[in-house]
Chain A
């Protein structure tokens, strides 16, 4: 049971990183990034390829994932500078699909739909059954670093400028804020975090395949951020763990319902998750931990 809980807590932590990434760009700057799964995949593949084919050490893989994710983010923002809202959302969705199609068709690089197996985990052989516990700590460490960075941004003048852009980009521009630079920086940082999450995922489960990066994962993270509280890092984190808890606890819940077949149980499980999320958003429309607007500093 313990190793299962550790496994779920680790995957929850990786979802948490994705939620923090989405919260920065969606909650912070108000840019809808439906391509989260794409950046997740870019990071996972970058690290997996560097450590399996390139035989590089695992930390180098993680660093590569940050760089690759960030670079993909840069390409996407710079090629969409004139798009906003729905149009940006459509392009990012297309980006994620393009990444998945490249991963399944460029077999020489990504081994296609076979996926990459045998991705090394840190000290996996030496640790044996303790691997899950150690990896959990690594993910928690990464999560804490990113969380405090996000909170620092959230409370800094920089974060205030991002929020100003979210509320009204034109006003921010008039007030002398370089909107494009802010947007690009935030998007690159957000994409880099998603890339890191992908790398952490790949080295944990030792196998990645294009089918793992379906838009479903983006939907889960949007649910997490929306129900946890858009625009507040702690809310994103709480939301991610809440979604993971719902996904997993519903398994045990439906086992107690007598007289239903396996198929009905699978359907009930999905239904339960949906109902729970609707209830949360009905009772707390702005999420469990809603955004707090710090008062503007007094002019000195």
Chain B
């Protein structure tokens, strides 16, 4: 009997002590856990580290301002190794051991598709930057959003850009990816409308030379080639195109043709005049400036901007839902971008406004961040660059 009474007293005393102590101490006792699952090694290795860093800086800012719902936020960063098998193990650890309420920043489409079922089964929210159309068609019950425009939207814009270059014969060279078939289908629709023929070939992205592929492409005498691979294979492909004496225009996605590619190629004449294309971050917006500071990079790539938006949206969703669960994030993620609300560019200001009973309209670093019911982004700008003397020069943002 006595032992029980002491137990109750102790519990009461502990409870009183906890309530009486300053909010900071309570916040530290019971933190909210969130995670990034970005590629720190493997093919996505150039992007993941900066993405994780941007998210960590946002969390640091929010903690300095007192956290969310009076609780501190802890961000756990795991490596998905750009490999779905390893990613599943890492996600399992985040969900079961760390008990995070949201996972952000999955990059490769195969990784996102592998991790998504674990998330919706455990009611963990997933924010991704993968582009494959099939992802938002998974039965995710609302536990998934993506800030990357789907491949239909992207490839349609690419097709329009190819036409604007005055192309009559376009050729696409692409490895086998989740968006390969849809790229062909969309280009075969868009290009003929502008009087341009389209041919294509699929190559193996792990080869060390593409001489035969290049010969095959050049036999059709194309005036525009769309080089639609990842960085390592595109390095080889561009060199082989140059060696084969291709004089037409080359166009590629900025996720593969980037500064790293230019450095790896090492010969400015190989990449001279190459056009690049990317979903554009909202450059010039105040959130973009914030993302610059958070990532410590003067020119953050679209994925970094998107992860900056993920973490801000998730934090504000928790504030709106007055709870830190995946369920609360799912119910409230779209309430962080209510039109007519106060326009904010970071979670600290947003949480302050929400706590004061107001509504917020988050204007993100990657764009407006409005999602349809499947979790796809509604609108996004695209940016076109051209490499001139080894430098990326802006052609247009539209």
In the complex, the answer to whether B114 meets A207 with C-beta atoms within 8 Å is: yes
CB distance from B52 to the nearest CB of A (A): 5
Residue of A nearest to B115 (CB): A207
Query: Which A residues are CB-close (under 8 A) to B41?
Result: 266-267, 270
Complex: A265 Cα to B108 Cα, angstroms: 21
In the complex, the answer to whether B83 meets A262 with C-beta atoms within 8 Å is: no
Complex: A209 Cα to B108 Cα, angstroms: 12
Asked if B90 is at the interface of the complex by the 8 Å CB criterion, the answer is: yes
Q: Which of A107, A211, A261 contacts B181 (CB 8 A)?
A: A107
Q: Which of A104, A251, A261, A266 has the most CB of B within 10 A?
A: A266
In the complex, the answer to whether B92 meets A117 with C-beta atoms within 8 Å is: no
Query: Which A residues are CB-close (under 8 A) to B78?
Result: 251
Query: Which A residues are CB-close (under 8 A) to B160?
Result: none
Q: Which of A4, A112, A115, A209 contacts B93 (CB 8 A)?
A: A4
Complex: A209 Cα to B88 Cα, angstroms: 12
Complex: A214 Cα to B97 Cα, angstroms: 27
CB distance from B205 to the nearest CB of A (A): 10
CB distance from B375 to the nearest CB of A (A): 16
Complex: A272 Cα to B176 Cα, angstroms: 34
Asked if B113 is at the interface of the complex by the 8 Å CB criterion, the answer is: yes
In the complex, the answer to whether A205 meets B180 with C-beta atoms within 8 Å is: no
Encode B107-126 as 1/0 by CB contact (under 8 A) with A: 01110011001000000000
Complex: A2 Cα to B96 Cα, angstroms: 8
Query: Which B residues are CB-close (under 8 A) to A257?
Result: none
Query: Which A residues are CB-close (under 8 A) to B202?
Result: 105
Query: Which B residues are CB-close (under 8 A) to A11?
Result: 89
Complex: A251 Cα to B80 Cα, angstroms: 12
Q: Which of B93, B108, B177, B178 contacts A248 (CB 8 A)?
A: B93
Asked if A247 is at the interface of the complex by the 8 Å CB criterion, the answer is: yes
- Which residues from 239 to 256 on chain A have a C-beta closer than 8 Å to any C-beta of chain B? 247-248, 251
Query: Which A residues are CB-close (under 8 A) to B79?
Result: 262, 265-266, 269
In the complex, the answer to whether A114 meets B134 with C-beta atoms within 8 Å is: yes
Query: Which A residues are CB-close (under 8 A) to B295?
Result: none
Asked if A8 is at the interface of the complex by the 8 Å CB criterion, the answer is: yes
Complex: A87 Cα to B97 Cα, angstroms: 45
Residue of B nearest to A3 (CB): B96
In the complex, the answer to whether A261 meets B84 with C-beta atoms within 8 Å is: no
In the complex, the answer to whether B181 meets A112 with C-beta atoms within 8 Å is: yes
In the complex, the answer to whether A214 meets B53 with C-beta atoms within 8 Å is: no
- Which residues from 107 to 131 on chain A have a C-beta closer than 8 Å to any C-beta of chain B? 107, 112-115, 117-118
CB distance from B96 to the nearest CB of A (A): 3
Residue of A nearest to B202 (CB): A105
Known contacts A112-B178, A113-B180, A266-B79; is-contact A261 B53 (Cβ 8 Å): yes
Complex: A115 Cα to B138 Cα, angstroms: 12
In the complex, the answer to whether A216 meets B83 with C-beta atoms within 8 Å is: yes
Asked if B347 is at the interface of the complex by the 8 Å CB criterion, the answer is: no
Query: Which B residues are CB-close (under 8 A) to A265?
Result: 77, 79
Asked if B190 is at the interface of the complex by the 8 Å CB criterion, the answer is: no
Complex: A267 Cα to B79 Cα, angstroms: 10
Known contacts A114-B113, A117-B117, A263-B40; is-contact A207 B97 (Cβ 8 Å): no
CB distance from A263 to the nearest CB of B (A): 4
Q: Which of B89, B90, B96, B114 contacts A209 (CB 8 A)?
A: B114
Encode B44-82 as 1/0 by CB contact (under 8 A) with A: 000011001100100000000000000000000111010
In the complex, the answer to whether B114 meets A105 with C-beta atoms within 8 Å is: no
CB distance from A124 to the nearest CB of B (A): 9
Given contacts A211-B108, A262-B53, 20 further A-B contacts (CB under 8 A): A7-B96, A104-B176, A112-B176, A112-B178, A113-B177, A113-B178, A114-B134, A117-B117, A209-B114, A211-B84, A212-B83, A214-B83, A216-B83, A248-B89, A251-B90, A251-B93, A261-B53, A262-B52, A262-B77, A263-B40
What are 24 A-B interface contacts by the 8 Å CB criterion? A4-B92, A7-B89, A8-B92, A11-B89, A105-B202, A112-B176, A113-B177, A117-B113, A117-B117, A205-B88, A205-B117, A207-B114, A209-B84, A209-B114, A211-B83, A211-B84, A211-B108, A212-B85, A247-B89, A251-B78, A261-B49, A263-B48, A265-B79, A266-B40
